[in-house]
Structure 1
């Protein structure tokens, strides 16, 4: 059996669920430090800070919270942040505060932020620019006028109209010799902008656009303009055969790096006095452009590579990745929830269990608590 055929079989069996090491040769960064005392916590250790309980709400204790999180056998890290402090964090299954782990498709929300940065820095003129202006070589010889109408905005909303490269099409895509070309030259199922079709191909094309527009790799763009200002780093990150960093999958970030990314959105893009993201971009990103998408056994809304739903009566925006990778933003409560798990798990019902815990435990715990003096 040829190596190419073996790769196809492996990709079909595991789909988007398997994480390989970073082909760039950049080692996983385990040295990034954060200014939290709790950074010394080791895997398996729990740190739950008790908040004052308000009598107006049903009491959900720290023990209730811990038991709920530990009922998710696949989880490796959990962080609950509110009003400027971490109020709970737990680690298990090899997870640690500053240990990078594969966040899978949660990295799509990172691509959303990088697009806003590229717009601010003048690398791209408008998100309504057609892709052909940034990737002309991929559009040479394409006569389909619809493909020439696909814009950066369509990629952000996953409304390119291209055939999805996710789910059943993932295996053939990732063993192709040119991921960007495979996605662009695939069938045009719908006119751009008509309807959403979840596709990592869209976000990978976006990664290529960002790289070509900025003149640097997507990783360099992310490190220079997003993670370095937050005193964070990126671990492993896969690349395609052409060297483009995988847009929307197989990026390794630590739980604390995810937390700081979430805090950035709550703080209007400011970090220690530096405007890392424009508040206007945040507002546009966290706006619903597609309603009622059936995904992970529920119906969600979608913004610019961010998911949205209502949990416990509160509006929640979140980044999601296979295997229990979540970053929840609860703006009304000034709260961030980080949850990571085993990226290779195939546990049924895990996402619904996480949503249920958000509704029945995490939100009530926050609602029934006040910040310590």
Structure 2
């Protein structure tokens, strides 16, 4: 083969390889300080269970790193961060007039109320479910295992005794958010998966795969959804921009603001809780975040135009609250101060 032919073949091979290299590289069209970006990555790399971190400032991706695990574009189990996504699905139904927050669950799903339901459940509203204020004994924590092995998750949750009044204390309970999922399905006649794809997946251009369903076929409300870090970042950015994405109003600004209004406080972290979002303060800024078991976290900090996604190994043993506090420090010590000075 002549030198000329070898040169031509080499150039062709290079041209074919360039698009692949371009697609695999992250570009950062932002004035976010490189020193802060590197510091955040160094802190993240210290956690052996941390899978990935992504962040955007003023709409520009400033961090996109997968240390291990499925990667940035592969759906992974986001555990109870699903509650934040489910809240958005509820918001989509509220925006369209398909449900109201003040509707009683007995009106939303009359065919699913068991004969042994606890007296007084007609006082529980859809709002009470998404704010974790149903008043019923929790089905999370030490009660979770008995609940998920029952043959009817709805009947089990609705037969729990009242330990507070509806609208009273925040009682973190996945049974409450699952009841919200079932209520949506029963009222609209469409699965929670179909609603999530219609209200969020299509307008945001994100992938929402099927996830776990209960014994009666309803999609699990508040746990085990699978989403990629990149799609979670898009979802969080939509909230940061008042429900808008690429000029399209995906959720109403009213719903976003309502979701971020405190209803009560978590007894474990003392952070306030709205509709699917925890509310706290980091580095002097108001921060809204959703979280899932083992270190799946989505942060939105509108005051400094910042959105952050962190995914982690969800398998036990989980370091619990300590690990969450350590993840908070990446946002509080590095990302917020850097964004604040731009």
- The alignment's TM-score, normalised by the length of structure 2, stands at 0.88
Contact 1:79-1:90 within 8 A present in 2 as well: yes
Is the aligned partner of 1:219 residue 2:218?
A: no
Aligned-partner Cα distance in 2 for 1:317–1:119: 21
Q: SS state of the match for residue 260, structure 1?
A: helix
Q: How many residues are aligned here?
A: 320
Q: Which has the higher contact order (CA 8 A, sep 6+)?
A: 1
Aligned-partner Cα distance in 1 for 2:132–2:22: 38
Contact 2:181-2:192 within 8 A present in 1 as well: yes
Q: Any stretches of 5+ residues in structure 2 without a counterpart?
A: 1-20
Aligned-partner Cα distance in 2 for 1:143–1:328: 37
- 1:259-308 deviations in whole A, cap 9, x for unaligned? 111111112212223221011111100111113x233xx32110011101
Give the CA deviation at 1:48.
7.1
Give the CA deviation at 1:87.
0.9
Q: SS state of the match for residue 87, structure 2?
A: helix
Is the aligned partner of 1:69 residue 2:40?
A: no
Is the aligned partner of 1:85 residue 2:60?
A: yes
Aligned-partner Cα distance in 2 for 1:280–1:195: 24
Change (3 A) 1:354 1:52: closer
In the alignment, what sits opposite 1:356? 329
Is the aligned partner of 1:336 residue 2:320?
A: no
1 or 2, which has the higher helix percentage? 2
In the alignment, what sits opposite 2:112? 138
In the alignment, what sits opposite 2:184? 210
Change (3 A) 1:300 1:60: farther
Give the CA deviation at 1:242.
0.4
Change (3 A) 1:137 1:363: same
Aligned-partner Cα distance in 2 for 1:84–1:228: 20
Give the CA deviation at 1:130.
0.4
In the alignment, what sits opposite 1:346? 317
CA-based RMSD of the aligned residues comes to 2.1
Change (3 A) 1:189 1:243: same
Aligned-partner Cα distance in 2 for 1:360–1:189: 39
- 1:177-231 deviations in whole A, cap 9, x for unaligned? 0111110111122221121100000000000001111111000000012111111
Aligned-partner Cα distance in 2 for 1:180–1:140: 8
In the alignment, what sits opposite 1:262? 236
Aligned-partner Cα distance in 1 for 2:32–2:85: 34
Change (3 A) 1:331 1:152: same
For residue 102 of structure 1, the aligned residue among 77, 83, 96 is: 77
Give the CA deviation at 1:249.
0.2
In the alignment, what sits opposite 1:40? 24
Change (3 A) 1:144 1:168: closer
Aligned-partner Cα distance in 1 for 2:36–2:66: 19
Higher mean C-alpha displacement, 217-226 vs 87-96: 87-96
Give the CA deviation at 1:366.
2.2
Contact 2:78-2:227 within 8 A present in 1 as well: yes
For residue 157 of structure 1, the aligned residue among 103, 128, 131 is: 131
Is the aligned partner of 1:232 residue 2:206?
A: yes
Aligned-partner Cα distance in 2 for 1:332–1:49: 21
- 1:332-351 deviations in whole A, cap 9, x for unaligned? 01110010011114242211
For residue 317 of structure 1, the aligned residue among 264, 282, 288 is: 288
Q: SS state of the match for residue 300, structure 2?
A: strand
Contact 2:36-2:335 within 8 A present in 1 as well: no
Aligned-partner Cα distance in 2 for 1:302–1:320: 12
Give the CA deviation at 1:173.
0.5
Change (3 A) 1:63 1:143: closer
Q: Any stretches of 5+ residues in structure 1 without a counterpart?
A: 1-36, 54-58
